[in-house]
């Protein structure tokens, strides 16, 4: 029994030590940033990124660090990642606008239809964890209502139970979409100063446009080392994969 307790306690202790070490590393990175040692701050933040790739606060700090290092495209990339994991983050939205203003080229966010904007705001209302808890609670509540109705035969309660079940299924769909959004890589940032947009997936096809550093594009398809991207509702084409970093 004693050995069993040790087998349980040792992994927990190791996890606690790792978390404590990462917290110290994060504070060191913040200290370097405050002291305007941006290269050191970047090095420390990048070490943390491997352990916490979905941490919005870390991406926000990386965005600020790259901004001070004049790496505009990577700054935009990490502010976009901040908004991916924490939609509606006012600080990231503000800093993203500063990046657009600092750019030598006119960079505009990809246009969105009204329904897309509404749906993104709806998904962003709760975190994935909160959506999951709400879904589980609603499903258990509907099961409880059906159980009570089995003995009471109350018509109003039966209607309420079915309504609760429908809401539960709607929440399951919402939670799955939220999870898919967090896992998906549907957009990218141009990281080359000038990236040619071709008509087809080869270097010999006609060049139609030049994309500039910091532009956000939507990913449509890929063939070998070529990626089909969408710039706006009327413009799409193929670019070299090496000129993009996915959000």
Residue 107 pLDDT level (bands cut at 50, 70, 90): low
Q: Which CATH number fits domain 20-102: 1.25.40.10, 1.10.565.10, 3.40.250.10, 3.40.50.300?
A: 1.25.40.10
* pLDDT tens, position by position, 151-171: 888 888 889 999 999 999 999
pLDDT over 60 (residue 17): no
Nearest to 26 by CA among 4, 55, 6, 5: 55
**Dist CA 182 CA 209 (whole Å):** 30
* pLDDT tens, position by position, 47-99: 999 888 889 999 999 999 999 999 999 999 999 999 888 877 899 999 999 99
Q: Taking the complete model, does pTM exceed 0.85, yes or no?
A: no
Q: Which CATH number fits domain 187-246: 3.10.180.10, 1.10.3430.10, 3.30.200.20, 2.30.30.40?
A: 2.30.30.40
For residues 182 and 204, the answer to whether their CB atoms sit within 8 Å is: no
Q: Quick one: CA torsion of 83, 220, 193, 80, rounded to 10 degrees? A: 0
Domain parsing of the chain, residue ranges: 20-102, 119-183, 187-246
H-helix or E-strand spanning residue 227: strand 226-232
């Amino acid at each position: 029994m004693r050995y069993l307790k040790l087998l349980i306690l040792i992994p927990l202790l190791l996890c606690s030590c790792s978390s404590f070490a990462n917290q110290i590393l994060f504070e060191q990175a913040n200290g370097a940033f405050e002291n305007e040692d941006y290269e050191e701050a970047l090095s420390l933040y990048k070490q943390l990124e491997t352990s916490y790739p979905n941490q919005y606060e870390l991406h926000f700090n990386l965005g600020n660090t790259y901004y001070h290092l004049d790496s505009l495209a990577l700054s935009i990339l990490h502010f976009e990642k901040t908004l991916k994991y924490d939609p509606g983050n006012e600080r990231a939205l503000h800093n993203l606008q500063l990046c657009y203003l600092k750019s030598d080229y006119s960079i505009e966010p990809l246009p969105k239809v009204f329904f897309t904007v509404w749906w993104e705001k709806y998904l962003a209302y709760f975190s994935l964890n909160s959506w999951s808890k709400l879904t589980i609670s609603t499903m258990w509540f509907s099961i409880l209502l059906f159980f009570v109705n089995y003995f009471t035969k109350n018509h109003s309660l039966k209607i309420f139970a079915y309504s609760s079940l429908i809401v539960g299924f709607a929440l399951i769909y919402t939670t799955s979409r939220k999870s898919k959004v967090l896992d998906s890589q549907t957009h990218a940032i141009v990281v080359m100063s000038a990236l040619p947009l071709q008509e087809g997936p080869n270097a010999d096809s006609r060049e139609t446009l030049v994309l500039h550093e910091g532009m956000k594009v939507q990913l449509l398809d890929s063939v070998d080392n070529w990626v089909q991207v969408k710039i706006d509702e009327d413009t799409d084409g193929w670019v070299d994969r090496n000129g993009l970093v996915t959000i």
